[in-house]
Structure 1
Amino acid sequence: MSSETTPTSKPVKTTGLHVGEPAPGVQKVDPILIADGVKRTFGGLTAVDVDHVEIPRGAITALIGPNGAGKTTFFNLLTGFDKPDEGKWEFDGRSLAHVPAYRVARMGLIRTFQLTKALGLLTVMDNMKLGAKGQSGENLFRSILPFIWRKQEEEIDAKAIELLGRFKLDAKKEDYAASLSGGQRKLLEMARALMSDPTLVMLDEPMAGVNPALTQSLLDHILDLKSQGMTVLFVEHDMHMVRHIADWVIVMAEGKIVAEGDPHNVMQDQAVIDAYLGAHHDTDLGATDTDHVEAMKELIDDEQ
């Protein structure tokens, strides 16, 4: 028997959602979404160039970054609304490459949009019913046999009414979606997304254009998604909101992932400060960009 000893491997540091030190592309303990080498260009402009990123399961992850960072484009690529030039990505172990948006949704990955996509000439109730998947009545043959789909239709109606009640929209169920306020449309889009019992909900700037009176309601609903066992990935510019509800933060700048970590540490990361502050040196700031920079300054001051 040899006197040589087998070297003991160094234990892997695991902290909460991730393995090892927080850094762009850090390995997650239980990732639900993984993207590798995803790149999208428009002419000579590289909008997205993500080497590797993993989204932790069962957590609320915020995707932040200055205007033009590529966040919404990345959302579009992951959900089948746009096609990358190269790369691969998978959801819950299944490849999403070349999978159209409607099939991605059927797999359990649902998204909302910065500009809501409610069908204005349909009622709120009809919008909700469109979100249910696997409806027997959508089949041409089965549609002429009411006894096949009627029970399912009743169950869908009951589920829609329950969700509308939860989102305080039940009184609006017979109103046309076009009559809703911007904030109410955001609520409707989120409620409709839940009709399909998603595993991962992706929210593109859920607070954009929302009346402050509805902001807390939306925040509560996002937190409620997590409590129901769903994973949430959202794009947001409101840094105070991010710090309040996010478990993990991913920062994009110029199409790349430049930082990852918990909200407390990310707000002090030099790469994040540079992305929000340094990117604006010697340039004219628009009102929105100025607000983002000031919010980041306030958060940095608070953390210190």
Structure 2
Amino acid sequence: MSDNAAAPSSRPLKTTGLHDGDAAPGCKKIDPILEIDGVSRTFGGLIAVDVDHLEIPRGAITALIGPNGAGKTTLFNLLTGFDKPDKGSWTFDGKSLAGVPAYRVARMGQVRTFQLTKALGLLSVMDNMKLGAKDQDGENLFRALLPFLWRKQEQANEKKALDILERFMLDTKKDDYAASLSGGQRKLLEMARALMSDPTLVMLDEPMAGVNPALTQSLLDHILNLKAQGMTVLFVEHDMHMVRHIADWVVVMAEGRVVAEGDPYTVMQDQAVIDAYLGKHHDEDLGADTEHVEVLKELLDDEL
């Protein structure tokens, strides 16, 4: 295996126009939607995140990968207001998000899903969807007492929710409790609910985790459709096959830092990525993330 091996000519790279200069950690993007500078987070003596600079390209699907404990979900939590960094700053669409609470981040157009779904189980699927709509007149205490002020908007939100549920093949479940859905259906519901706020950036934390294989292709298609509809997608994922097939750009984290960036076909041959998954001393048993290592080896073999 050569570090300089190129992707097969029959599979054109999808990263044209995404970055400026070499594809190195922290490289400049042509049109970044998210810019991160000097963000760090520690838990006791553990450095969970230590990102010097990172830019996420607009209008693309970016995968954030790395071995277990690399800091991926912690970085998601920081960027979406669910946790606070020790230091650092970041901007979304040119606006600073440092110190902005999660609900305001979502209202600005940056929404996320969770590895463990957050559907409200004792509400119906339709009610979960309507909760995702923003700027609802009925949320005001005074207006809530006067239905004629918000009923028309409520009807419009229900129509929008039903249209989205149909796309996600959940319309027949609209009156069911969310708790009655399967794990994969709850993933679909969470993604569908996120679209109720008309987001600009959708952040998915391990969208394939716990999903029945029968729903895997459906989820992949929906993620690709987000891009087709003009949204930017940033997702954390351990499924390397998914990363290779849908990601335009890949960011690799290890021990809290960004160690590699690039298109999925060349990143998986980057020595820094191999070291991150195998450990720097390949001949020693360092408790490497063996499940992901085997997948990585398989993908490398496919590419060579």
| Residue type at the aligned position of 1:296 | L
Aligned-residue offset at 1:146: 1.4
Runs of 4 or more consecutive aligned structure 1 residues displaced over 4 Å after TM superposition: none
| Residue type at the aligned position of 1:64 | I
Q: Helix, strand or coil for the counterpart of 2:88?
A: strand
Q: Structure 1 unaligned runs (5+)? A: 1-13
Matched with 2:45 is 44
Give the Cα–Cα distance (whole angstroms) in 1 for the partners of residues 97 and 287 of structure 2.
39
| Residue type at the aligned position of 2:286 | T
| Residue type at the aligned position of 2:101 | P
Aligned-residue offset at 1:290: 2.2
Matched with 2:81 is 80
Matched with 1:270 is 271
Does the alignment pair 1:282 with 2:260?
Answer: no
Matched with 2:176 is 175
Aligned-residue offset at 1:147: 1.4
Number of matched pairs: 288
Alpha-carbon displacement from aligned partner over 1:234-258 (angstroms, at most 9, x marks no partner): 0000111100000000000000000
Matched with 2:34 is 33
Matched with 1:298 is 298
Matched with 2:136 is 135
Q: Is the 8 A contact 2:279 2:286 kept in 1?
A: no
Give the Cα–Cα distance (whole angstroms) in 1 for the partners of residues 45 and 120 of structure 2.
35
Aligned pairs for 1:39-188 (under 5 A) are: 39-188=40-189
Query: Considering only CA atoms, is the larger Rg found in Structure 1 or Structure 2?
Result: 1
Give the Cα–Cα distance (whole angstroms) in 2 for the partners of residues 120 and 187 of structure 1.
14
Give the Cα–Cα distance (whole angstroms) in 2 for the partners of residues 22 and 169 of structure 1.
40
Q: Helix, strand or coil for the counterpart of 2:42?
A: strand
Q: Structure 2 unaligned runs (5+)? A: 1-14
Alpha-carbon displacement from aligned partner over 1:133-167 (angstroms, at most 9, x marks no partner): 00001101111111110110000000000011100
Matched with 2:231 is 230
| Residue type at the aligned position of 1:44 | G
Give the Cα–Cα distance (whole angstroms) in 2 for the partners of residues 290 and 25 of structure 1.
28
Q: Helix, strand or coil for the counterpart of 1:234?
A: strand
Matched with 1:261 is 262
Matched with 2:11 is none
| Residue type at the aligned position of 1:232 | V
Give the Cα–Cα distance (whole angstroms) in 2 for the partners of residues 175 and 239 of structure 1.
34
Give the Cα–Cα distance (whole angstroms) in 2 for the partners of residues 130 and 143 of structure 1.
15
Give the Cα–Cα distance (whole angstroms) in 1 for the partners of residues 290 and 211 of structure 2.
19
Give the Cα–Cα distance (whole angstroms) in 1 for the partners of residues 147 and 190 of structure 2.
29
| Residue type at the aligned position of 2:81 | G
Q: TM-score, normalised by structure 1?
A: 0.93
Aligned-residue offset at 1:15: 4.7
RMSD: 1.1
Percent identity of equivalent pairs: 81
Aligned-residue offset at 1:291: 1.9
